[in-house]
Structure 1
């Protein structure tokens, strides 16, 4: 199975989600009449929605733990490398997202703005989001480099053979799946 976390695909997915959210927010902000009240029942999660980052956190943590255990076994770490491993795996954990913005408050704020101001505000929000993502990716990259430096040449080869993703930065192809698309 290829790595569950493919950085380039994740960035593209997040960019697409951000663009879609921005477009939706712009459309909402320009609506003349208020929308009808939402139905009381929560909509079921669609398969597409799950791919857009709405995964079950417990299942995601289980997949990460399984992948890390497999990688650790493959690397055959020495007791002296355990500290570097702990630091590395801690940096690979998914970020804890803060509270989502209040949509009603955001809509009220956007209702007060002109269209050019809305565009500027959306750019500002997008730039802030991208800066946070870039900082997190840089932190993971530096942690990976530090861990890699603690490995023996044989372990580095094993690490390099891993698909790209949170558990290993090696691999081949832009998404770490050796030029093939994953099945399933």
Structure 2
């Protein structure tokens, strides 16, 4: 009987300590402050800020490539083709009312539109690339290796 009582007291003590430890852990976790971001909150850039940053990258690439007057038309067409396309807002309620096959058909149609836009960009890129010198092509290839990488779903040059 004494052994049974000893085991019961030990088990209850362990259970009490475990519960207290969990409560203390939960309390400190809930009160912990989120990590600081070096004193600044990260905010999305405004459309104007994105446009200014894009213009700066384009101007820098223009200078690095040393575009000649004879290459300006191809350059301008290339830059125009690389401008981000306006995003279309989709009516979620309308999508919710579509059947699965109808949604899939719409997604395929949107993918075809994106592919067509990429093909137009490629044509403009090919035209521009064909007027570059060997040194310009080397510089452009180094910069183009970083196209499309970075934050968000942007199009065009990144980290240029």
TM-score (norm 1): 0.52
Aligned to 1:129: 110
Cα distance in 2 between the residues matched to 1:89 and 1:56? 21
What is the Cα-based RMSD across aligned positions, in Å? 2.8
Checking the alignment, whether the CA contact within 8 Å between 1:71 and 1:167 is kept in structure 2 is no
Residue 70 of structure 1 corresponds to which residue in structure 2?
60
- Return the TM-score normalized by structure 2: 0.60
Note if 1:141 corresponds to 2:122: yes
Distance change in 2, residues 1:128/1:62 (3 Å): same
Aligned residues: 111
Q: Which has the larger radius of gyration?
A: 2
Mapped partners of 1:74, 1:60: distance in 2: 21
Segments of 4+ moved more than 4 angstroms: none
Greater relative contact order (Cα < 8 A, sep 6+): 1
Gaps in structure 2 of 5+ consecutive residues: 1-41, 148-155
Aligned to 2:24: none
Are residues 1:103 and 2:84 paired?
no
The answer to whether the aligner puts 1:80 opposite 2:55 as a matched pair is no
How far the C-alpha of 1:89 sits from its partner, in A, is: 0.3
Deviations along 1:162-183, whole A, 9 cap, x unmatched? 1331239xxxxxxx9xxxxxxx
Task: Please identify which structure carries the higher helix content.
Answer: 2
Give distance in 1, aligned partners of 2:106 and 2:77. 31
> Is contact 2:95–2:103 with CA below 8 Å preserved after alignment?
no
Assess, with a 3 A threshold, how the Cα gap between structure 1 residues 125 and 135 changes in structure 2: closer, same or farther: same
Distance 1:147 1:167 in 2: 15
**Alpha-carbon contact 1:85-1:147 (below 8 Å) kept:** yes
